[in-house]
Chain A
Amino acid sequence: MNAIIVSTLLGVVMMFCSWITTSAKAQRNIGLVGMLILIVANLAQLKGWWVIDFDTKGMLAFNQIGLFANMTLFILTFLYVWINGEEIEKIGNHTADFYAIFFFILCGVSVLTSFDNLLMLFIGIEILSIPLYILTGSDKKNLLSNEASLKYFLMGSFSTGVLLLGITFIYGATGSFHLSMPVVNPATHMVTEHFLMSAGLILLFASMNFKVSAAPFHFWTPDVYDGAPTVFTSFMATIVKAAGFIAFIKVFETQRMALGFTWYIILSFVIVSTLLIGNITAVFQRSVKRMLAYSSIAQAGFMLFALYGNSIFNTEAILLYIVAYSLATIGLFAVLVKMKDYSFESFNGLAKQHPVLAFLTTLFLFSLAGIPLTAGFFAKYYMLNALLTAGAGLWLLIVAILFAAVSVFYYFRLVQAMYFTPGTPAINELDKKYEFKLWVLAALIILLGVFPSLLFNYLYF
């Protein structure tokens, strides 16, 4: 509850921040301090130091995993803002508004990590999505950005409609919005109102797939990611997507029982098609930004594996995956915003001119590809391990690694451009401070790549 209330208040504070100061830098610093306050408030609840608590009538339920997920996502947001702060200022005239939007999104995130009721799921997703439509269209004079925003808005509202329809069906079948109610009748082992329940769940599943950009509901992703200002794409592809996954898992942890074996068939279909479409299409991209959009679809395919079982392994795996994927993706986008254009060619010869930047980019790419000594390796390892423990067929693991090998293909294209192709990179000025910030990301990636347990030590106490 701490995080929800504090983030809302901070959002309101940021909205009126322009009255206090018009300096973009001051606004950014207020925003960063706000993030720290939010992190501390959430930590206070995690540790039980100070908890705002009142009876929500079972609408929200706070547990360690949810609070921990909050923690990781807030810290990632903090890192994101810390690194990209100056770039955010270049977009639009009212920087403080963006920080208000970030806090509202984080409020949505905290609802999504703690809902215990399908209505709260709906509200959480709306709180998360509406600010995103604004962020996508925030580059007002850019036609692509406007197009992306409108597209995202229309498709997003449609998918929310599907979500509501699904919730309605489930309500019709069970007479309750609660997640924790039993979906299977313990006496007969039968699902009550089987047809309605299944239809509702499948609609819910489709809508959630839309939110995490899994195939075949991914069509908005490349255009929106490409059209949105690059700094905000970074935010959408990491923190927002991660929150979507946590909500996804929360809904289907228990509810999937109602689908029985069909669940595995649908899930496998979605996973395989997501991996296929994401990876294969990414190979043929000419723009690094679009490649990253498809790579984010492909990585979503990997993250969907966490839905296969419902043991602690899956939770660990998805959390580590989210962190590893987000760190690397934030890093790559942070490099990308400094480029003058986003084609692969513009990276040619980067290693000669900016060896440090090229090295860091390579590290981020390695992490996404899952090369040992980076966080990405253990993320993939945990995911595969969870999959095997959940009793998935070996074929699914083999499909996963085949596509992991395909992903090496397009990630390494960038490495090849940087190191082996001569040329002059089209890159803007870089200062040492910016490099230092990227080094911090890289250090975290390597730290988690050698000791992934550092993350989990905080999960169990």
Chain B
Amino acid sequence: MFLLLFLLIPIFAAIALLFVKKEQAVNLIAIGAGLLTLMGALHIIINKTESFNTSWLPILNSRFILQADGLSKILILLTAISFPAIFIATSKNQTHQKNIFLSLMLLTQAGLMGVFLAGDALLFYFFWELALIPVYFLCSIWGGEKRIAVTFKFFIYTFLGSLFMLIGIILLYSNTTDHSFLIESMKHANLTPGQSATAFALFFIAFAIKMPIFPLHTWQPDAYEQSPTAVTMVLSAVMVKMGLYGIIRWLMPLFPAAFLAHAHFVVLLSVIGILYASFIAIRQDDLKRLIAYSSIAHIGLMSAALFTHNQVGVQGALIQLFSHGINVLGLWIIADVIEQQTGTRSMKALGGIAKQQPTLAILLVGFAFANIALPLTNAFIGEFLMFNSLFQFNPWIAAAAGVSVVLAAIYTLNMVQKVAYGEISEATSLMKAPNKNAQAVLIVLLVIVFVTGVYPQPLFDVTADTLKQLFVK
């Protein structure tokens, strides 16, 4: 029953927001709902939870099942942290029809929570789509100049991907012995190797588009750039995790043979993607695009590590799912503060923030260190484990992927240097009073970065059961 709250709180808050116009009340409702879900998330991390299971479509034998294992919990926690953080950090931003904006954001949150909790394939598909629809409207209404075309591309891409997944689900469903959509029954579906490979491919396309993996990534930088920054934060901190979640939840246990058979191919694609994105990131001048490409590179590393099918690598990826979300969220919030106050995202036009707003500069440096996975930051542990598994998989591939660490250092430090140091530029001189809300959020996030960087054991503990399920027979 408790897990149902993760859907109900955002949905009810979203409905309530439709009837509230006053800006202060609107912010209060959204932040309150966000903090409530965060408390819920902390509760399920600490305590054991019952799954929620009720009949839904008896005629199809599909059930409304919500369940949370370690993998779900860590992503629930990430989602629950991200949304209130975004709401607080952007609460001062001028947005027209803010109540509708936040209402759609909360619906997105409900969709994401559903994706991470669903234990039934059809339900999973439902939430998968449900998370997309509000984002389509958010980006198309509140986005940048080219928003409509860009968002449409994003929408068609992911919609097509999920249709492929739907065929995969139907294929699996029709081959389960008890005609059910439960993950457990799907694991024991009677598939011929050929069917298994096909179903694997169908699911993989959906997840690869969402992450995105190299040749299917073209929607992402545009979508990140054109979306309102609050939505970009959701997209890159939480939404891309849907693809990785799908790999761990569906591909790994359901198609073990096909998974191993295609491992080299996918790892190769991922590593190409990592290098490609890193090189492009170096050449970017737009702050948002730089973070977008850097995010593609990090996600690529996670997908490569997952496909090594090595316990160490998967453990690393599980941790990194959380850490990457926190880090990228921090970077986006800083980018948003800078854009709100200076009106530009071009790094050439910025400079000297350290003199103008020292706190912000310190925070930026902190998240920049996390982005290049320096020891003591949370990303270090994850990346270390992931590179470890890649090395065991194939040293050459590991070496190629390792180049990305150097590249990450180049573009991240370059960005810090251009943005934070140097003479105070014309744009930067506009930065007057620091944005207290955003800074408070950033400090909390930075604390998480260093605490989980120094003492990651709680994250290991939470994800232990998922790892055990995947690797202990």
Q: Do A and B come from one complex?
A: yes
Residues of A bordering B, CB below 8 Å: 366, 371-373, 381, 384-385, 388-389, 394, 397-398, 401-402, 404-405, 408-409, 412, 416, 419-420, 451-453, 456
**Contact status A401-B166, CB under 8 Å:** yes
Q: How far is the CA of A388 from the CA of B166 in the complex (A)?
A: 12
Asked whether B174 lies within 8 Å of A412 as measured between CB atoms, the reply is no
Q: State the Cβ distance, B132 to closest chain A Cβ, in Å.
A: 9
Task: Say if the beta carbon of B454 comes within 8 Å of chain A.
Answer: no
A381 and B125 alpha carbons, distance in the complex (Å): 11
CB distance from A344 to the nearest CB of B (A): 13
- CB pair A409–B126 under 8 Å, yes or no, is no
| Complex alpha-carbon distance, A366 and B129, angstroms | 12
Closest chain A residue to B198 by CB distance? A394
A358 to chain B, nearest CB (A): 11
Partner of B170, one of A371, A384, A404, A456: A384
Query: Could you jot down 5 A-B contacts, CB within 8 Å?
Result: A388-B170, A401-B166, A402-B160, A409-B156, A416-B152
The residue from B152, B155, B156, B170 contacting A385, defined by CB atoms under 8 A apart: B170
Judge whether B148 and A420 touch: CB under 8 Å.
Answer: yes
* Cβ contact within 8 Å between A416 and B148: yes
**Binary contact track B301-328/A, C-beta < 8 Å → 1, others 0:** 0000000000000000000000000000
Q: Is the interface of B mostly helix, strand, loop or mixed?
A: helix
Q: Is the CB of B167 within 8 A of A384?
A: yes
Q: Could you tell me if A372 and B130 are in contact, using CB atoms closer than 8 angstroms? A: yes
**B433 interfacial contact with A, CB 8 Å:** no
A136, B171: Cα distance in complex, Å: 43
Residues of B within 8 A of A381 (CB): 166, 170
If A371-B129, A388-B170, A408-B155 touch, does A453 touch B59 (CB 8 Å cutoff)? yes
Q: Contacts A372-B129, A404-B163 given: A419-B137 contact, CB under 8 Å?
A: yes
Cα(A366)–Cα(B60), bound, Å: 22
Residues of B with Cβ closer than 8 Å to A?
57-60, 125-126, 129-130, 133, 137, 140-141, 147-148, 152, 155-156, 159-160, 163-164, 166-167, 170-171, 173-174, 198
A319 to B: closest C-beta gap in Å: 13
Report whether B141 and A419 are in contact in the complex, using a CB–CB cutoff of 8 Å. Answer: yes
Nearest chain A CB to B378's CB is how many angstroms away? 35
Which residues of chain A have C-beta atoms less than 8 A from B174's C-beta? Answer: 385, 388-389
Interface centre among B129, B137, B156, B166 (most CB of A within 10 A): B166
Instruction: Give the residues in chain A near B137, CB-CB below 8 Å.
Output: 419
Distance from A90 Cβ to chain B, minimum over Cβ atoms (Å): 35
Find chain B residues with CB under 8 A from A405 CB: 156, 159-160, 163
Q: CB-CB < 8 A to B167: which residues of A?
A: 384, 388, 394, 397-398, 401
Q: How far is the CB of B406 from chain A (nearest CB, A)?
A: 40
* Chain A residues whose C-beta falls within 8 Å of the C-beta of B164 in the assembled complex: 398, 401
Q: Complex formed: what's the CA distance from A397 to B199 in Å?
A: 13
- Which B residues are in CB contact (< 8 Å) with A419? 137, 140-141
| Cβ–Cβ < 8 Å partners of B198 in chain A | 394
Residues of chain B within 8 A of A384, CB atoms compared: 166-167, 170
In whole angstroms, what is the CA distance A423 to B59 when docked?
46
B86 to chain A minimum Cβ distance, whole angstroms, is: 23
Q: B155 touches which one: A366, A404, A412 (CB < 8 A)?
A: A412
| Chain B residues positioned under 8 Å from A366 (CB to CB) | 133
A388–B140 CB distance below 8 A? no
* Cβ–Cβ contact B159 & A408, under 8 A: yes
Distance (Å) between the CB of A181 and the closest chain B CB? 33
- Asked if A372 meets B170 with Cβ closer than 8 Å, knowing A402-B160, A419-B137, the reply is no
Complex contacts, A398 vs chain B, CB 8 Å: 164, 167
Cα distance A453–B122 in the bound complex, in angstroms: 15
List of A residues within 8 angstroms of B166 by Cβ: 381, 384, 401
A385-B173 in contact (CB<8A): yes
Q: Which residues of A contact B57 (CB under 8 A)?
A: 451-453
For the complex, give the distance between the alpha carbons of A81 and B152 in Å.
Answer: 36
New A-B pairs, 10, CB < 8 Å, besides A401-B163, A405-B163: A371-B133, A372-B129, A384-B170, A385-B170, A398-B167, A401-B160, A412-B155, A420-B140, A452-B57, A453-B60
Complex-state Cα separation, A385 to B148, whole angstroms: 34
Q: How far is the CB of A455 from chain B (nearest CB, A)?
A: 10
Q: Could you tell me if A408 and B156 are in contact, using CB atoms closer than 8 angstroms? A: yes
User: Please, which residues of chain A bring their CB within 8 A of the CB of B152?
Assistant: 412, 416
Cα distance A392–B155 when bound, in Å? 29
Q: Which residue of B lies closest to A370 (CB)?
A: B163
**Cβ contacts under 8 Å, A451 to chain B:** 57
Minimum C-beta distance from B124 to chain A (A)? 11
| Interchain nearest-CB distance for B135 vs A (Å) | 13
A427 to B315: give the CA distance in the assembly, Å.
58
- Chain B proximity of A369: nearest CB distance (Å): 8
CB distance from B54 to the nearest CB of A (A): 13
Q: How far is the CB of A303 from chain B (nearest CB, A)?
A: 18
Query: Pick the contact of A373 from B126, B141, B159 — CB < 8 Å?
Result: B126
Chain A: minimal CB distance from B359 (Å): 38
Q: Indicate whether A453 sits within 8 Å of B126 (C-beta atoms), given known contacts A389-B174, A394-B167.
A: no
* Bound form: Cα–Cα A381–B163 in Å: 10
CB neighbours (8 Å) of A456 from chain B are 59
Distance in angstroms from B427 CB to nearest chain A CB is 30
CA distance A405 to B152 in the complex (A): 12
Q: Which residue of B lies closest to A397 (CB)?
A: B167
Task: Please give me the residue from chain A that is nearest to B174 by CB atom.
Answer: A388
Across the interface, which residues of B come within 8 angstroms of A453, CB to CB?
A: 57-60
Residues of A within 8 A of B126 (CB): 372-373
How far in angstroms is the closest Cβ of chain B from A233?
28
Residues of A within 8 A of B140 (CB): 416, 419-420
Shortest Cβ distance from residue A310 to the other chain B in the assembled complex, whole angstroms = 17
CB distance from B200 to the nearest CB of A (A): 13
> B59 — which chain A residues lie within 8 A by C-beta?
452-453, 456
A372 to B124, CA, bound (A): 11
* In the bound complex, CA of A394 to CA of B198 (Å): 9
Q: Give A398 to B60 CA distance when docked, in angstroms.
A: 22
| Residues of chain A with a CB closer than 8 A to B173's CB | 385
Chain B nearest CB: distance from A457 CB in Å?
Answer: 8
Chain B residue nearest to A401 in the complex (CB): B163
Contacts A408-B156, A420-B140: A388 and B130 contacting too (C-beta < 8 A)? no
CB of A201 to closest CB in B, whole Å: 29
- Smallest Cβ distance from B302 to chain A, in angstroms? 27
What's the Cα separation between A404 and B129 when bound, in Å? 15
Bound state CA distance, A293 and B170, in angstroms?
30
- Contact call A388/B156, Cβ cutoff below 8 A: no
Residue in chain A with minimal CB distance to B140? A420
Closest Cβ–Cβ distance, residue B11 to chain A (whole Å): 12
In the complex, residue of chain B having the shortest beta-carbon distance to the beta carbon of A452: B57
- Min CB distance B209 to A, Å, is 12
In the bound complex, how far is the Cα of B436 from the Cα of A35, in angstroms? 66
Give Cα A373 to B59, complex, Å: 17
Question: Closest Cβ of chain A: how far from B229's Cβ, in Å?
Answer: 19
Shortest distance between the CB of B454 and any CB in chain A (Å): 43
State the CA gap A419–B152 with chains docked (Å). Answer: 13
**Chain A neighbourhood of B130, CB < 8 A:** 372-373
Inter-chain CA distance A416–B57, complex, in Å, is: 33
- Please give the distance in Å from A385's CB to the nearest CB on chain B: 5
User: Once the chains bind, are B125 and A372 in contact (CB under 8 Å)?
Assistant: yes
Point out the residues of chain B lying under 8 angstroms from A420, CB to CB. 140-141, 147-148
Nearest-CB distance from A46 to chain B (Å)? Answer: 20
A228 to chain B, nearest CB (A): 32
A-side contacts of B58, CB under 8 Å: 453
**Hey, which chain B residues are within 8 Å of A416, CB to CB?**
140, 148, 152
- What is the chain A residue whose CB lies nearest that of B195? A394
User: Which residues of the partner chain A approach B133 to less than 8 Å between Cβ atoms?
Assistant: 366, 371
- Which chain B residues lie closer than 8 Å to A389 at the CB level? 174
Query: Which residue among A371, A384, A404, A405 has the maximum number of chain B CB atoms within 10 Å of its CB?
Result: A405
